[in-house]
Amino acid sequence: MTIHIGIIGTGMIGEEHARRITLQLTGATITAVTDVDQEQARGVVERLGLAAEVYPDGASLIASEAVDAVMVTSWGPTHEEYVLAAIEAGKPVFCEKPLATTADGCRRIIEAEQAAGKRLVQVGFMRRYDSGYQLMKEAIDTDRLGAPLMVHAAHRNPEVPERYVTPMAIHDTLIHELDTFRWLLDDDYKNAQVVFPRKTRHAHSQVADPQIVMLETVKGVRIDVEVFVNCRYGYDIQCEVVGEEGVARLPEPQSLQFRQSAQRSNEILMDWKKRFADAFSVELQAFIDGAASGTLGGPSSWDGYAAAIAGDVCVRAQESGAIEPILMPERPAFYA
């Protein structure tokens, strides 16, 4: 059985996913694409040699009989509308983060999905599919570390463009950690605080960079995440979990070890796409397989909602400088 996928939004990430599905993954074909820039959509079809029709808009694509499952990789503010439409059509939908730009939007999706009576949404938090984080989760779940007490993490990018402003450190960058740690620790957040170190001279004027976000979970784990998006030296994701019985640290990407010029050195990646390349593949294959079997798994719309709520509080904490409570509604049994 081959799943027919329609892609809404054929920008960089949309094209990347289309290429992956077509060249590397099994069980799916791209049969439909659309983009606000129709020329762009046609270009992707041509570049990848897809047997796909270009639709005039998301609504018609979702409605099409040629489409079994939908991927939403359009501009963030449009996500909610397309996800709701896919749910309405009863079609599985993969939605890149954010699920919606507001917690309210996420809530509307959750309600619609529950009303539909069936999980139809997978949110694009690819780190859950990274082999390193999976080993970490296994170490926690098998109690090898004892109860987790602290997480020390860093999310570093070489640089960001001028349009990247302070709150984007939460909504665009930390958002991955916000999902990852809930999943890793099987826990929820209780409060958040953000502090600002001296600003790097490499940051643009509209962004406070770096930032340190401190989170407390319901179970009492303390998480600190350094977000440093103009660190220059590389794309570097670090995560150390400190438990009662030991400490585990995420593996770093592999490369040759060189001995040259009075140095032992290993390459650090500059490009985030390479860092999680395998995770993207596993993630999308999981969506294809879940859509085929009618049993979607992975990050749910509830997870998207939880990340949105925590993200909003972190932005508030950026502004207030205070320890801000994170209030999560009761999780419906539907998402248990």
**Residue 203: how many other CB atoms lie within 10 Å:** 18
- Asked if 185 interacts with its own copies (CB under 8 A), we say no
Q: Is 88 in the site for its own copies (CB under 8 A)?
A: no
Minimum distance, C-beta of residue 212 to its own copies, in the bound complex (Å)? 6
The span of 75-83, 160-168, 230-238, 301-309 binding its own copies (CB under 8 A) equals: 230-238
- Show contacts of 214-219: CB within 8 Å, 24+ apart: 215/181, 215/189, 215/190, 215/191, 215/310, 215/326, 216/189, 216/190, 216/191, 216/192, 217/181, 217/185, 217/187, 217/188, 217/189, 217/190, 218/187, 218/188, 218/189, 218/190, 219/147, 219/148, 219/185, 219/187
Distance of CA 170 to the CA centre of its chain: 12
Q: Give, as ranges, the residues between 113 and 152 that touch its own copies (CB under 8 A).
A: 131-132, 135-136, 139, 144, 146-147, 149-150, 152
Q: Alpha-carbon Rg of the chain, whole angstroms? A: 20
For its own copies, which is the closer residue by CB, 116 or 214?
A: 214
Q: Does residue 59 belong to the site contacting its own copies (CB under 8 A)?
A: no
Q: Looking at 104, 141, 143, 244, which residue binds its own copies (CB under 8 A)?
A: 244
Q: CB 290 → its own copies: shortest distance, Å?
A: 15
Per-residue H/E/C for 155-214: EECCCCCCCCCCCHHHHHHHHHHHHHHHHHHCCCEEEEEEECCCCCCCCCCCCCCCEEEE
Q: At closest approach, how far in Å is the CB of 92 from its own copies?
A: 20
Both tokens of residue 71?
């991927």
| 236 part of the interface to its own copies, by CB under 8 A | yes
Q: How far is the CB of 29 from its own copies (least distance, A)?
A: 10
Q: Which residue in 197, 294, 325, 329 binds its own copies (CB under 8 A)? A: 197
Rounded Cα distance, 306 and 236, in Å: 25
Position 326 contacts its own copies (CB under 8 A): no
Site for its own copies in 15-34 (CB under 8 A): 22-26
Task: Please report which helix (H) or strand (E) contains residue 303, including its range.
Answer: helix 301-320
Does the footprint of its own copies cover residue 288 (CB under 8 A)? no
Q: Can you spell out the DSSP letters for 86-115?
A: HHHTT--EEEPSPS-SSHHHHHHHHHHHHH
Taking the least distance from each CB to its own copies, the nearer of 8 and 126 is 126
CA–CA separation, 312 vs 170, rounded Å?
Answer: 8
Binding residue (CB under 8 A) for its own copies from 125, 164, 181, 228: 228
Is residue 264 involved in binding its own copies (CB under 8 A)?
Answer: yes
| 2 is a site residue for its own copies (CB under 8 A) | no
Q: Which helix (H) or strand (E) holds 293?
A: helix 277-293
Q: Which is nearer to its own copies, 77 or 251 (CB)?
A: 251
Task: Give residues in contact with its own copies (CB under 8 A).
Answer: 22-26, 131-132, 135-136, 139, 144, 146-147, 149-150, 152, 154, 195-202, 210, 212, 214, 216, 219-222, 224, 226, 228, 231-234, 236, 242, 244-270
